[in-house]
Chain A
Amino acid sequence: MKETIVSVQLPVQEALEIERNRLTPPVGQDGGKRICIVTGIHGDELEGQYLAYRLNRVLQAHPEHLHGTVDIYPAINPLGINSITRGVPLFDLDMNRVFPGSENSSMVEHIAHEVVEDIRGADICIDIHASNIFLTELPQVRINEMFETELVPLAKELNIDFIWVHAAATVLESTLAHSLNSIGTKCLVVEMGVGMRLTRAYGDQLLEGILNLMKTQGMWSGDTQPVREPIIGRNEVAFLNAEGAGIFISEVSHNCMVEQGQTLGVIADPLTGQDVQVVTAPEKGLLFTLRDYPVVYPGSLLGRILTGGFEK
């Protein structure tokens, strides 16, 4: 059932509406659990749209296998998706820095508050992101070490390649996931693919994972595939930042093992034909992030390498 969970009047005529589709099991089949699938906090990240579409189709085709409530929220930042804006248009704000929001302080905080209140109390929430327009990411779940114990077992069911348990940072306290985890609603952040594009293979992979997770929770009884076992990484991540300005031309493909010192690409100067920088791997490991957008400044992230955590 389609419902509007928050509606705010914009200046001229229209209202900004956040919509949710609630799928409920047939009478007598409800185990009482609820899972929320949330995406579109960043208006330039679209991978979650494909997932939401596919999940809707599978669940609606087989209500006989559904044993809990599934809430799908495709667009937490509808104005952003509509206008190809990462943040909230009008406010220059990253929506994922205003949670938990508040009932009455600004429009964006009001929306954030209503979203948190709507999800509050769910058994699991999955917040799907798609990196940004610059970087391609291997399907992964990112977990703040504060919530590691509760979340890692759930993340392992999601058919993703990698779980990144990262250190806490005060600034990340204003994300949707942190706000939900702080009130006891378990929220997993998925990052996969690249901004402004759909990577169907990753969407299909995560769909299998969500159905599998629902099965382990007694919410789904349809067929599922065995899931892949993710690598769990903590601080074993090497960052590869550009040291020069120019055009990054990569010589490797995303998601491969690289050797220390291996050439990954060049930063080129199209005016002179010179290489500003030959980019090499600082350490051996799995290249799980790779730059997709070619123009770089010094500091631009070119990739990330997972250097450990391989032993299970």
Chain B
Amino acid sequence: MRQETLYTLDTPYRQKLAVEGFRFGRGKKCCAIVGAIRGNEVQQMYTCSLLVRELKRLEQQGAINTNHEILVIPCVNHFSMNVGSRFWAMDQTDINRMFPGYDKGETTQRIAEAVFSAVQGYDYGIQFTSFYVQGEFVPHVRIMHTGYENASLANLFGLPYVLLRNPKPFDTTTLNYNWQIWNTNAFSIYSHESDDISTPQAELSVSAVLRFLSRVGALHYTCHNGYMSAILQEENLASVHTTCGGIFHRLKVAGENVRYGEVIGEILDPLTAEVKEQLIAPTSGTLFFAAKNPLITQHAEAYRIIRRMYS
């Protein structure tokens, strides 16, 4: 393992921002892995830290194949993390909306450019990231439909689901999108979505990455096979929206199965506890996403369901 400071930035009234990278193996650039880009992505950083520990152990055992280099950047944005801000604290910009970045531009564009130049040229790029709506997902690999994507490679993680997303205009400035445009096979891994940390979820993600790395020939690592991933198109998921606001009483969590017509949540009047709305499953299937905040507005997406195609 070689630790390297990939980028530093002078800042007013604080120490320099230093982005640390950990390299394993040597030779051809095989895989770059990026953790926390936002200040609340603690789980993502933690997952990468476990991955660094595991790769260090594997490297000492000689398990990294020759001519395969792996780079892990557990945390790009400890600056926001240390002040409890999700985005860049000074101007609330999101570094994951600044790619490919610009080294003569605004501060967060410069950081994005530095990260992007460090992770460019790899065959594979993996990002642990988060969704902008608070809630939980079943663990999945997300890839963007750019014309360069390769969904069958995403199966190699052995996670239960691979989600294919058609990019919207704002997606064009994410790391994942730009990786693909610049010839890196890019995967975003969504797991446990929270500001706290979960060791079992992190270990699940670490195994998925190690499984992927061994299947693309970077490691010899024996592990169980994981799942045969189901490939989902985002637009084919069934959404359940609220028609009123109130306290969200969640009756199901992500990953649970639901039946057509089943009550899966309730919206309560926050002052009288009267049930204002019952949220009904529009299809049988598995919950892909469940909102988590105890308060919910009208027109919010409370659940997303993977339709069961057979029954």
Contact = CB atoms under 8 A, between A and B. Distances in A.
Interface of A: 8-13, 16, 86-87, 90-93, 97, 104-107, 110, 132, 134, 170-174, 239, 241, 244-247, 295-301
Interface of B: 9-12, 86-87, 90-92, 97, 104-110, 132-133, 168-170, 172-173, 239, 241, 244-247, 270-271, 295-301
Nearest to A294: B12
Given A11-B295, A171-B170, 9 more contacts: A11-B247, A11-B296, A12-B245, A16-B297, A91-B132, A171-B97, A171-B173, A239-B105, A297-B107
Contacts of A239: 104-105
A276 to B, nearest CB: 8
A189 to B, nearest CB: 16
Contacts of B271: 12-13
B301 A170 contact: no
Given A299-B107, A300-B107, A171 B295 contact: no
B301 A105 contact: yes
Given A11-B247, A247-B12, A296-B12, A174 B109 contact: no
A92 B11 contact: no
Contact of A245 (B11, B110, B245): B11
Contacts of B87: 92
Contacts of B301: 105-106
A202 B297 CA distance: 38
Given A91-B133, A134-B91, A298 B107 contact: yes
B12 A105 contact: no
Given A11-B296, A91-B132, A91-B133, A246 B169 contact: no
Contacts of A244: 10
A132 B91 contact: yes
Contacts of B92: 86-87, 92
Contact of A106 (B10, B12, B170, B299): B299
Contacts of A110: 299
B169 A170 contact: yes
Contacts of B295: 11-12
Given A97-B170, A297-B90, A299-B106, A106 B245 contact: no
Given A105-B301, A106-B300, A297 B170 contact: no
23 contacts: A8-B299, A9-B245, A9-B246, A9-B298, A12-B270, A16-B297, A90-B297, A97-B169, A97-B170, A105-B239, A106-B300, A170-B172, A171-B169, A173-B169, A239-B105, A241-B105, A245-B12, A247-B12, A295-B12, A296-B12, A297-B90, A298-B9, A301-B106
A104 to B, nearest CB: 6
Nearest to B167: A170
B141 to A, nearest CB: 22
B168 A174 contact: yes
Contact of A299 (B97, B109, B132): B109
B246 A11 contact: yes
B133 A299 contact: no
B167 to A, nearest CB: 9
A277 to B, nearest CB: 10
Contacts of A12: 245-246, 270-271, 295
